[in-house]
Amino acid sequence: MLVLRLLNVVAPAYFLCISLVTFVLQIFVFIPSMFRDPSTTPLFSPALLHGALFLFLSANALGNYVLVIQNSPEDLGKDLNLGKGAEVADWLDGIRSPGSALPGTHFCRLCARVTQRHDHHCFFTGNCIGSRNMRNFIMFCLYTSLACLDSLVAGMAYISATLSMSFADPLAFLTLLPHSISQFFSGALLSSEMFVILMLYLWLGIGLACAGFCCHQLLLILRGQTRYQVRKGMVVRARPWKENLQEVFGKKWLLGLLIPVQNVESSYRRQKEK
């Protein structure tokens, strides 16, 4: 438990550090290197378009990240008479208490609260993912993946121009790291260039992981399930996939896709049902 609590503190700091490094490299290294002659650069140049795209992706990733933290799942334990002894032990074991009619509820030891439609505890946000912040969490994963892949492409273009390399061969990227390590220790490669190469592989790993996690979450939403329900083998009521999507993303899903906003419709619907 001590290791998990430590990870719950270190992981968000690690994510923010990676985000800051990515922003600095993009704004002060990659994008300026795209300008050959700033005085003759047209208004809609590739460098300016790339900068605008990166700022859009970063703003959405950071905005949804903040909303995931702010929109914490409700602590249902305050409204339920859990009592003491065996009933509390049932919550601690992740089993629904006999007096509760709420499916998918779960007591999180790290957050110390009972949440409805609990999906999982995200260490990178230090918060539980449930009914209130699921949409923002998916948008956070989506835009983080796109921002990392965008940084990967820009970094490869920077390395290609700096080291006069060609990535036309698919194996060139796979062999880039071992060749760079040997050149770095022989003194033929600068530390700044080696750092960018290491960041390329980090962006690739984070981008693919976030993309895979986002697709997995969408598949569970289409089925009307959460990761916690799948892990515990809980049976959920079958509903049309459109209703499952609307419950998470709301009717104005396009607005949430472009701007990091809270899903007001779903929150209002849940309050009305209560």
Which residues carry out catalysis? 122
Cα(122)–Cα(59) distance, rounded to whole angstroms? 20
Instruction: Spell out the residues 6+ positions from residue 194 whose beta carbon is closer than 8 angstroms to its own.
Output: 180, 181, 184
Rounded distance between C-alpha atoms, residue 154 and residue 162, angstroms: 12
Task: Count the neighbouring beta carbons within 10 Å of the beta carbon of residue 209.
Answer: 14
Q: Mention every residue, 6+ apart, whose C-beta is less than 8 A from residue 260.
A: 59, 60, 62, 63, 64, 66, 67, 136, 139
- How many CB atoms within 10 Å of residue 135? 26
C-alpha torsion sign, points 228, 230, 236, 240: positive
Residue type, 197: I
Closest CA to 199 of 3, 22, 2, 13: 22
Q: CA–CA separation, 272 vs 185, rounded Å?
A: 64
CB count in 10 Å sphere of residue 252: 12
